[in-house]
Structure 1
Amino acid sequence: MTIRFDGQVAIVTGAGNGLGRIHALELAKRGAKLVINDFGGSRDGTGSSTESALAVVEEIRQAGGTAIANGANVADFAQVQAMVAQTVAEFGRVDILINNAGILRDKSFAKMDLADIHAVINVHLMGAMNCSKAVWDVMKEQNYGRILMTTSAAGLFGNFGQANYGAAKMAVVGLMNMLAIEGRKNNIRVNTLAPMAATRMTEDVMPEALLKASRPEQVTPGALYLVSENAPTKLILGAGAGVFTAVRMEETAPVHIAGDVAPEDVEAAIEQITDWSSAGPRDDANAQVALFVDTAMKALNA
């Protein structure tokens, strides 16, 4: 069945360039009305301009679609609230939010200033938090919503020189975990995209051959699926160069150590504790706690 977004309204942050732009253009092609949000800053977040957002709006309008531009800084909650208010005033609803806006300030941790840490976390984590918070009540009232976070391999697995970026990108996965649970009863589905694409964010960190193969157009289909009517919830989808993966947090089977546990006991059992062949996912925190309690109680009653 063809995925369409007719009658739906989507906000895409950081939509003036790169992945956000392609997400927005493809949503518009499939019938959505778009709010093109872009603060218009450089890759490190300095400066601002509405030119890129207005250019994407014009692309959509020239193709017969409907779009408006918005220059809110996602790190500023008041500006984000005003953006959502503008969206509701213009279109009457908000069905889709794609948290795509981001900046980079890469340095080794030893050389990284606190200003670089705060700036990156404020855009990636607080930007996603602010935008999700601003649309949440609207989505609850209409009993429908699709929210997409954007993470990175740097956050999921680690990468040298990106402590600020990686911390923020892992944090948005935690945000997804919470919102996916809280949104279920109101048909709000929340997922996360882990993209690999050739954009201004990656142009100097990927080999040239891979840059040519990793066009944003090969990532966006994953994003559109994750904000569609039949989307799952609480899924991390890796996407890039036509390759797709699912990523999840796993935990090994619990190992009980009897008596008054000493550090030496943990060391002696570490091979069994880290036996990943026993690993499995946990649906939520309660499932993990229940497993701990069940294991401990069985040992106590043995």
Structure 2
Amino acid sequence: MKPVPFIVLPCLLIMLLMNSSCSKKADNIAPVVTPPPAQTNFFANTAWSGTYHTQAQNYDAPCVLFFRGDTVVVIYGMLHFAVNGNPVAANLFTKDSIQGKITKIDNLSATQATITVQFDVINEQQMLSISQTNYLTGGPSDPSKFGYNSMQTSLRLCPNTGAMTIKNTTWNTPVITYSGPANGMHMYPDLSAISFDETNETFLRNGAAIAGIGFKYKQVGPMVNLAGYNDDPTIKQIIPYFGALSPNADTMWVTADFGTYYPRLPNPVETIHWYGLPGVTPLIFKTSN
């Protein structure tokens, strides 16, 4: 056996020392720490109900606002606007929803926030202000520029979807108490009275269901797509309505489209207010469940 050359021994020694050093470094490597998930804002994925105001309607009408995460806002309702701010009737248009992108969040705490939202469909930047966690108001970022394509909102925070069901409930409208020939009659008679089962809405008159007349309603949280029935013998028409449940689910703001149907709702041009006072948001209430 030949002796190991002298030059090889130092090389083997260096390799052994390197391996030992690497082993010690590997033992000292800090463990990988998974960062905590990003915290969402308290208003993320919440639903809000109430009314909105524009210059293209007779009264503040119901709407429902949903936060999609904390980046997108969607407002649902029978939303009336005017194209390019022109109030001429031919330029008025109705949307069933508008979507906005949240571009900024300020003054954030556990109970309040100021949220800037860009609504492209109405070409308006809105400022949404949440106070005491459960009250939201919205309007143009520059209030002096409130025009026919602008809207203002006044909303309350709603509980989770399951707590707001209208299944197996009955609803009615207020009785007129102001003086005049309509005194003692029901406001908004299209909705006086109605009941909901698991899937269908029934129209009641004098406590009995109207035979052969019904409507398949839809509810998503505080938002309700329901119907009224105009039983005037010359009309006899099922009329689509939009409803926004109050947070306690005992009352519902309602409205209908005047452009296509004949809803019996407050009308400012009437000299006798048969269906309720003009300028007042129609409201129905739950009578049983």
TM class by smaller structure: under 0.3
Instruction: Give me the TM-score of the superposition, normalised by structure 1.
Output: 0.25
Instruction: Give me the TM-score of the superposition, normalised by structure 2.
Output: 0.26
Larger radius of gyration: 2
Give 1 or 2: higher helix fraction: 1
